[in-house]
Amino acid sequence: MFSVASRKLAAAAFTRSRTTVRRLAEKVEPLQKEVAKEAATKKSWWSSPEWWGVAGGIAGWGISGSAIWDAYHQGPEVISLTMTPVLIVYSTLFAVWSYTIVPKNFLLMSCHLANIGAQVNQLRRSIEYKLENGEQDQVNDMAQKAAVGGAVLAGAVLGAPMIRKSLLDMNAGIVSSVAAAPAGPFTVHFWAPMSKWLISGASFLELDRPTEKISLAQYSALTVTGLFFSRYSLLIVPINYNLSAVNVALFVSSAWHLGRKIKADFIDGGAKKED
């Protein structure tokens, strides 16, 4: 009698436990699928900072390569005295930036170091050409602007640590929070995107630039760089929304010049040859 009752109780308990396990499995299974999907997404190229970092580095090498290409295949008259100094400052800041982000991007850093040398050479060629053709005033104007910019930059670099410390010690609410931000105005994570805004601004200021003075190689590289970095800047640490926004602008302005150049050289130019 006792053994029969015990067996019935054990069977009932086993049935209940099996039902409970089945219900738990039904609840856990969707969670497992969601976790697996999230893990797969994280491993995909779209969410990989390493993939976009390599793509950005290759695009960056395109800018350096375009300057080297132009040095051998283009005359110095096509070199922009507006864009070239901006590119030198831009690459200096991004060489530092690419080392300080997580994960570090040595491919990108190397391309910017190479670009500094290439753009300095382009600047030298342009200055020599303008001096030989009696454009001394334009060279002097650029030299004065460069001297003022260099003085301001040196002062900012030397004074920034003291100013930042003072703002932090003040505990001045949002002002101190901005000063302490990992991508705030006292870090290269702020000024590297600002240099890129100068590139975009230079492109927007020259929207009507004669197409014969537009470098196809340079603006192709700038367009691709803007495309890749608009995504890459959202995947690194610290996340840089300012950098993402400026790369969208860079893509638009550079693509505009690139489209004009292609139309002039390969569409309109091809039609003229046929006539």
pLDDT for 2-22, tens place per residue? 466 666 666 666 576 666 656
Question: Which tens digit of pLDDT belongs to each residue from 197-237?
Answer: 877 776 777 788 888 888 888 889 889 999 999 999 999 99
- Under the banding of pLDDT at 50, 70 and 90, the label for residue 157 is confident
Query: Sign of torsion, CA 130 134 135 136?
Result: positive
pLDDT at residue 117 tops 80: yes
Q: How far apart are the first and last CA of the chain?
A: 110
Burial of 37 (0-12, 13-18, 19+ CB in 10 A): exposed
Residue from 55, 41, 87, 109 nearest 232 by CA: 55
Burial of 14 (0-12, 13-18, 19+ CB in 10 A): exposed
Structure tokens at 236: 């690194």
Answer for the pair 135, 81: CB distance below 8 angstroms, yes or no.
Answer: no
Mean per-residue pLDDT, 230-254: 93
Cis geometry, peptide bond prior to residue 238 (ω within 30 degrees of 0): yes
Question: Which tens digit of pLDDT belongs to each residue from 26-66?
Answer: 665 665 566 456 555 556 899 999 999 999 999 888 878 87
Average pLDDT over all residues of the chain? 83
Please report the pLDDT score of residue 173 as a whole number: 87
Please report the pLDDT score of residue 2 as a whole number: 46
Answer for the pair 223, 262: CB distance below 8 angstroms, yes or no.
Answer: no
Give the gyration radius of the chain's Cα atoms.
29
